[in-house]
Structure 1
Amino acid sequence: MTQHFKKAELHCHIEGAAPPQLALLQAEKYGADISDFVSDGTYVWNDFTSFIACYDAVSSVFRSEEDYALLAETYLLELSDCNTIYSELFVAPDHGETVGLSADDYIAGLAAGMDRAREKAGIVSRMVIIGERHLGPERVIRMANYAARLDHPLVTGFNMAGDERMGRVADFARAFDIARDAGLGLTIHAGELCGAFSVSDSLDLIRPHRIGHGVRAIEDPDLVQRLADTGTVLEVCPGSNIALGVFPDFSSHPLRTLWEKGVKVTLNSDDPPFFHTSLEAEYEIASHVMGFSDQDINAMTRTAIEAAFVDEQTRFGLLAQL
C-alpha cells in the first residue's frame, strides 16, 4: 500500500472525478437517464469519442451550485483519505453553462466544496479553468477572458483540454496570451492523442509552465532532451494513457524513460472512475508495477508542489509537510 506517501495531484477534471454512485444519485434527483453510460457501478465507453459522450452525460446531472459543491467536497475528501495534501481541479464553466448554470455560480459551488473539504480534512486545493479545444478557438478565448477577469483566490491557472486532434495549437495561442497577462499559471493538454509535434508546438507557441500528459514526447529524443533542459513539468496520467490506448500496457509506458532522461514528471489520475483508477492507484502503479523507489516517488510529489499554481506562502507550507 502507498498510504505512507504524502500525495499531490495537478491533473484531474472535476466532472471526471464523479463516482458512478454519485452520478446515479444525481440522475435520479433530476429524473435523467444515464443508464447507457453506467453499468454495474462503472462507466461505459469504448474509445475517445464515446468517452467524451459518457463524460458529457455524467456532467449533465450536476446542475446547481450545491451539486458542484458536493462533487468537489466528495472528491477532495476521497483524496485526503489516501494522504493527499494538495489537489488542482480542472474546471470547465462550459459544462455548467450547458445545463443553465452561470460560470460564476459554477465556480462558487466548486469553491464552497473546496472550502468544506479543507475545513474537514486540511486538504489544500485550487482551480484551473479549462477551455474546451473541440468547441473552437473563439470559445477557448472567451474562457480565457473569463478566467483573466475573474480574480478569484482559488482560480490560479488556465488550461486547454478536449480533443487534441481538433485544430492547431496556433489557433489557440491568443487565449494563453490573455491568461498569461493576467498572471495565471499555464498548462495545456498535448502529446496524448497526438504525437511529439503537439508537445513541440505547445512549447513554441504557448510557452506553458507545465504540459498535461506530454508522454508522446518520447517519440522524439531531441524533444525529450528539450523538456529536461527547460525543466518543463509533465502531468503524467499512466492509468488514463493505458485506458485510452495511448500505450498498450504499463511495461511500455514511457514514464520511467522520461524520468531517467531527466524530465520532471508528476503522478495524476485524470478522470479516475472513468479509467478505473485513482490517485492512490497511480502511486501504487509507480511503486509496484513500474518499480520506482520511495525516494523517487517522493521526489515526484515534491515536483508537483514546486510546480503547483499557488502563492509562495502556500507552497512553503505544503513543502514543509513533506
Structure 2
Amino acid sequence: MTDRDPNEPMTEEELHHIVHLPKVELHTHFEGMAPPAFIRGLAKEKKVDISKIFRPDGSYDYRDFWHFLEVYEAATSVLKKPEDFARLCTAVLEKSAENDVVYQETFISPDFCGGGDVGAWKEYLHAIEDAATAAERDFGITLRGIVTCIRHNGPDQARAAARCAAETAGGFITGFGMGGDEKQGKQRDFAWAFDCAREAGLQLTTHAGEWNGPQEVRDAVEDLGVSRIGHGVNAYTDIALLEMLAEQDITLEVCPGSNVFLGVFPALKDHPIQKLRDRGVNVTISTDDPPFFHTTMRQEYAALAKTFGWGEEVFRELNATAIGAAFCDKATREAITKQLERK
C-alpha cells in the first residue's frame, strides 16, 4: 500500500470522500469536548460568572497548555450534577456523530464526578451511560469510557479514581488512564492505581511523550504496562524506542491538531506522524479537546490528507488500527468493523 504523492493535487471529490469516511476516535476528554455554547448556557442557568475564560467570539481563551488546564477546570466547574453530565454527553456525541465518528472512547475523571467517592461516581456514571445509550440509538455512535486519574492531583487521588474504576469495570467502562500535567511526578508514582485497574480487568493507557521526551514513553510502557499511549509523539527521536513500540504492538493515540495548536510542533508539516508510521508504529487519529483546539475529526482528516498526501486507503488503515486497539469487547469490535468497511 502506497501513500499519495503530496505534490499531486487531490480532487475535491477525493477529499470529500475522505473526510466523510466512518471514523474511530480513541483519545478524547469528556469535559474537553464540551461546546463553549453549552458551557456558557449552563453557567448562565446556574448564575455562575466564568466569562473570563471566553474570547469575544465565544470560544475558549487561554495562553498556553498550563493556562489551558486552568481554563479547562473553570469550564468544568459548572458541571455539578449527574444530569449536567448527561446533557453534556448528548451534546458531545451529537457533534462527534456529525463528523462521522461511529465509535469513540473518552476519558472521564471521578475527580470531576463526585470527587473520587465511589457512591457519587456511580450516580454520575449511570446518568452518562443512559445518555450514551440514547445517543447510540439516535445518532448511531457507540461510546465507551476510560476512567482517568489526573496526574497533577497526585498519586493519592489517583488511587481513589482507580477504586472508582474497579467498582464500575465492565460494559461501558472498559479502560483506565491518566491525563493532566506531564511535568508533575513520574509515571511510576501511579503504579498502584494502574495495578488496581488492571486487576479489575481494565485495559490501560496514559498520556506520555507530549511535553516530555521519549524516556517518558518508555517509562509509561515499562512502569505501568500500558497497551496504548496518549500522544507519545516525542518518541520519534528515539529509534530504539520506536522499535520497542512496534515490537510490543503499543498504539499511539495521536492528536495532530492539538499538538500543533498547543505548540508541540510549529506546523502540521513538522508533525512526526508520518515518521512514526514509517517505523511501523501503530498510530491513530483523535481530536483530544476539539472545541478548545478549534478542530473536528473531519478537519483533522482534511488537513492530514492535504499535508501528507494520504489517500483513502491510509485513513481506512488508520481506522482499522484504531478499532483493533479499542478498549471494547469482541462483539462491539466486529460491529464497528463492519461499519468501517462500508464504502
1:80 — aligned with what? 97
1:203 — aligned with what? 221
Distance in 2, Cα, partners of 1:170 & 1:99: 21
Q: 2:36 aligns with which of 17, 20, 31?
A: 20
What is the DSSP-based 3-state SS (H/G/I as helix, E as strand, rest coil) of the residue aligned with 1:46?
coil
Q: How does 1:1-322 map to 2 (within 5 A)?
A: 1=16, 2-39=18-55, 40-97=57-114, 102-322=120-340
Matching residue's letter, 1:224? L
Contact 2:19–2:302 (CA under 8 A) maintained in structure 1: no
Distance in 2, Cα, partners of 1:62 & 1:221: 43
Matching residue's letter, 1:190? A
What is the DSSP-based 3-state SS (H/G/I as helix, E as strand, rest coil) of the residue aligned with 1:248?
coil
Deviation at 1:116, TM superposition (A): 1.4
Distance 1:28 1:54, change over 3 A: same
Deviation at 1:99, TM superposition (A): 12
- Give the TM-score of the pair, scaled to structure 2: 0.91
Which deviates more from structure 2 when the two are superposed, residues 44-53 or residues 61-70?
61-70
Matching residue's letter, 2:241? L
Identity, in percent, stands at: 40
Distance 1:44 1:99, change over 3 A: farther
Matching residue's letter, 1:214? G
Contact 2:116–2:160 (CA under 8 A) maintained in structure 1: no
Higher RCO (C-alpha under 8 Å, 6+ residues apart)? 2
Matching residue's letter, 1:18? A
Contact 2:169–2:202 (CA under 8 A) maintained in structure 1: no
Alignment length (residue pairs): 322
Distance in 2, Cα, partners of 1:34 & 1:104: 28
Contact 1:195–1:216 (CA under 8 A) maintained in structure 2: yes
Q: Deviations over 1:5-34 (max 9, x none)?
A: 110100000110011111100110111111
Q: Deviations over 1:12-65 (max 9, x none)?
A: 001100111111001101111111111212100011221011000110111122
Q: Which has the higher Rg, Structure 1 or Structure 2?
A: 2
2:13 — aligned with what? none
Which deviates more from structure 2 when the two are superposed, residues 251-260 or residues 93-102?
93-102
What is the DSSP-based 3-state SS (H/G/I as helix, E as strand, rest coil) of the residue aligned with 2:51?
coil
Matching residue's letter, 1:7? K
Matching residue's letter, 2:240? D
Which deviates more from structure 2 when the two are superposed, residues 96-105 or residues 201-210?
96-105
Structure 2 runs not aligned, ≥5 long: 1-15
Q: Deviations over 1:221-254 (max 9, x none)?
A: 1111111121110000001111111111111100
Contact 2:257–2:287 (CA under 8 A) maintained in structure 1: yes
Structure 1 runs not aligned, ≥5 long: none
Distance in 1, Cα, partners of 2:169 & 2:116: 24
